[in-house]
Amino acid sequence: MSKGEVIVVGLGPGSADTVTPQAGAALRRATDVVGYGPYLARVPAVEGQTRHGSDNRVELERARHALELAQSGKTVAVVSSGDAGVFAMASTVFEALEGARGKDYGDVDVSVVPGISAMLAAAARTGAPLGHDFCVISLSDNLKPWTRIVQRLEAAASADFVIALYNPTSKERPTQLNKAFDIIRKHRDPITPVIFATAVTRPDEKIETVPLKDANSVEADMRTIVIIGSSATRMIERDGRSAYVYTPRYDMESVR
């Protein structure tokens, strides 16, 4: 029996032209593909390849299934949207690998193929808001306490980082994004640009930029990345089109 392996593959934000050749090669080489249904649907068909779709709420189960398949000699691609290493399946696969030290996943090789993350795609579509020091925070408190999220928002806002928020809202967590805006408003100018980038690069892409004073969670859903500018972030207005948003390389205070 050949030695199996797991390759965790980032599919990019959605459009096929953001999938790297390295990711494409891994997907063609796989005997089995494991992932959340809508992500599997993005993987081009390969003859003889087996698909294992699952619901979005069973990450650890999915990771264990992939490791078991690899243990039986399969070459298993585990697919994530965006970059697999940013709030996605790569961590879960390593968690399953470590948690199962008692079992024998020992000779299963795990590798990760990076992808264009949602925040990089969102930033590119609006200009260069992540052009200087930034923090990336998941607002989901499914697996960490809300007090920890508040601590990180306070730290990021007070040290004038640009802030990118993943998992900003869901049906179960409708109030947290507005609480986050309230925390950030204590530290930032009311006209600081806030970007709501939803379904970036997909047919239903929607991008809105509003001043922090008007930022409201109704603009966001589960597929939204929210980017809040630092004190240095600037807008360049355009005729008849949305403004560019960018954060310069220089620090405003060192220039004034």
| Residues in contact with a second copy, shown as a per-residue x/- string from 91 to 130 under the rule CB under 8 A | xxxxx-xx-----------xxxxxxxx--xx-xxx-xxxx
Alpha carbon 194 to chain centroid, angstroms: 18
| Burial of 1: CB neighbours in 10 Å, binned 0-12, 13-18, 19+ | exposed
Instruction: Please tell me the count of residues contacting a second copy according to CB under 8 A.
Output: 76
The DSSP bridge pattern shows strands 5-10 and 75-80 to be: parallel
Q: Candidates 5-13, 64-72, 174-182, 189-197 — which segment interacts with a second copy by CB under 8 A?
A: 5-13
Q: Which of 85, 168, 193, 229 binds a second copy (CB under 8 A)?
A: 85
Q: Candidates 40-48, 132-140, 169-177, 182-190 — which segment interacts with a second copy by CB under 8 A?
A: 132-140
Should residue 131 be labelled a site residue for a second copy when binding is judged by CB under 8 A? yes
Please report, as residue ranges, which positions from 135 to 164 form the binding site for a second copy (by CB under 8 A).
135-138, 143-145, 148, 151-152, 154-156, 158-161
Please report, as residue ranges, which positions from 216 to 235 form the binding site for a second copy (by CB under 8 A).
234
Should residue 25 be labelled a site residue for a second copy when binding is judged by CB under 8 A? yes
Q: What whole-number distance in Å separates Cα of residue 118 and Cα of residue 9?
A: 14
Q: How far is the CB of 60 from a second copy (least distance, A)?
A: 9
Other C-beta atoms lying within 10 Å of the C-beta of residue 134: 19
Q: How far is the CB of 241 from a second copy (least distance, A)?
A: 9
- Alpha-carbon dihedral 110, 83, 216, 125, rounded to 10 degrees: 180
Q: How far is the CB of 34 from a second copy (least distance, A)?
A: 16
Q: What whole-number distance in Å separates Cα of residue 139 and Cα of residue 166?
A: 6
- Report the side by side order of strands in the sheet with 234-238: 127-128, 241-246, 234-238
Q: How far is the CB of 51 from a second copy (least distance, A)?
A: 23
Q: How far is the CB of 27 from a second copy (least distance, A)?
A: 13
Give the phi and the psi of residue 41 in degrees, each rounded to 5. Answer: -65, -20
